[in-house]
Amino acid sequence: MKKDFLTIRDFTREEILGTFKLAAEMKAHAQNYSSALKGKTLAMIFEKPSLRTRVTFDVGIQQLGGFSVCLLPMEISLGKRESVHDVAKNLERMVQGIMIRTFAHQIVVEMAKHASVPVINALTDYSHPCQAMADYLTIQEVKGELKGLKLCFVGDGNNVAHSLMFAGARLGVHVTVACPKGYEPNPTAFQSALEDAKQTGAQIEVVHDAMEGVKNADVIYTDVWASMGQESETEKRKAIFHPFQVNKQLMAKANAGAIFMHCLPAHRGDEVTDEVIDSPASVVFQEAENRLHAQKAVMYQLMK
């Protein structure tokens, strides 16, 4: 296993499946792991807002017998008040793991390079691996077997879409990204997913029509149209992305029994309607809870 968890591609297929197994075990028998990371401390660096990530890492490390220290943007001012290198060299002497949510992916790469302790990516502009880990754990809980399923990500080819492609490629889940022209996944991310998919036969594709994308899909997934850092584009994007709203009509084009997923926070009435997110097909809160279990399994494996 690698020292860090910076992208899903840092874990092999076996390591991902092993993480699901451990997460399921921790979910069923949390008390058996109450000393698993006894006395260890996780530093949580946030350069963007958060609800789920903040709470699940904080509660997760405590449930494993450890502690957390939360650092907000004003506190360390990463790269401005102090270089990433120097932050890494300080923290490695004080804590046993570093979780970081930031803008440029290069920052987590640099932190991991300089810190002797594990670094966990808790979202960058490029990827959100902890989210994808919890998402496929959720799909496995609901659907059983993962291999051969089809997931359609409807919306912006963003960080969440990238991680879903990477994990789909590793797990044999076909991933279609249905997005407006000009909002495709990053070409490097797409090529990496195609490369990894050769091992499992997963089909990874991009289409520009939502109705076409969700055909034969078992999972319909969406995310906000403007990610953190893109707030100034919100109004412009609303017009462009409107045909990609996940509503009842779109859900009806997917396979019978298809589930709805969203990493949250959701902008109800934009990328998803209330009737979809509040429908029995929606597993969004199970998905949110699974951030806790999946990340406990990740932390345990890296920090034990």
242 is catalytic: no
| Displacement of CA 3 from its chain's centroid (Å) | 19
Binding to ligand CP by residue 230, rule CB under 6 A? no
What is the number of alpha carbons within 13 Å of residue 125 lying toward its C-beta? 9
Q: 40 in helix, strand or coil?
A: coil
Please give the size of the binding site for ligand CP, defined by CB under 6 A.
9
* Binding positions for ligand NVA, 46-105, rule CB under 6 A: none
Tokens of 290: 């699974």
* Binding positions for ligand NVA, 107-146, rule CB under 6 A: 123
Binder of residue 117, out of ligand CP, ligand NVA, none (CB less than 5 to 8 A by kind)? none
54, 85 in Cβ contact below 8 A? no
User: Which residues, listed in sequence order, are joined to residue 41 by a DSSP beta bridge?
Assistant: 67
Q: Of 264, 281, 286, 301, which one interacts with ligand CP (CB under 6 A)?
A: 264
In sequence order, which ranges of 29-178 are alpha helices (DSSP H)?
52-63, 73-76, 84-91, 105-114, 129-143, 159-171
The active-site residue, picked from 162, 179, 263, 270, is: 263
How far CA 301 is from CA of 184, 189, 252, in Å, comes to 33, 26, 40
* Binding positions for ligand NVA, 241-280, rule CB under 6 A: 263
Binding to ligand CP by residue 227, rule CB under 6 A? no
131 is catalytic: yes
223 is catalytic: yes
70 is catalytic: no
Binding to ligand NVA by residue 281, rule CB under 6 A? no
How many Cβ atoms sit within 10 Å of the Cβ of residue 28?
9
* Binding positions for ligand CP, 118-137, rule CB under 6 A: 123, 131
Binding to ligand CP by residue 240, rule CB under 6 A? no
101 is catalytic: yes
- Stretch of 26-34, 38-46, 171-179, 222-230 contacting ligand NVA, by CB under 6 A: 222-230
User: Across the chain, where does the E strand assignment appear?
Assistant: 41-46, 67-71, 97-101, 119-121, 150-154, 174-178, 204-207, 219-222, 259-262
User: Across 148-291, where does the E strand assignment appear?
Assistant: 150-154, 174-178, 204-207, 219-222, 259-262
Site string for ligand CP, 17-56 (x = CB under 6 A): ---------------------------------xxxx---
Binding to ligand NVA by residue 288, rule CB under 6 A? no
Q: Cite the active site residues.
A: 101, 128, 131, 223, 263, 291
| Interaction site with ligand NVA (CB under 6 A) | 123, 158-160, 223-224, 227-228, 263
| Interaction site with ligand CP (CB under 6 A) | 50-53, 123, 131, 263-265
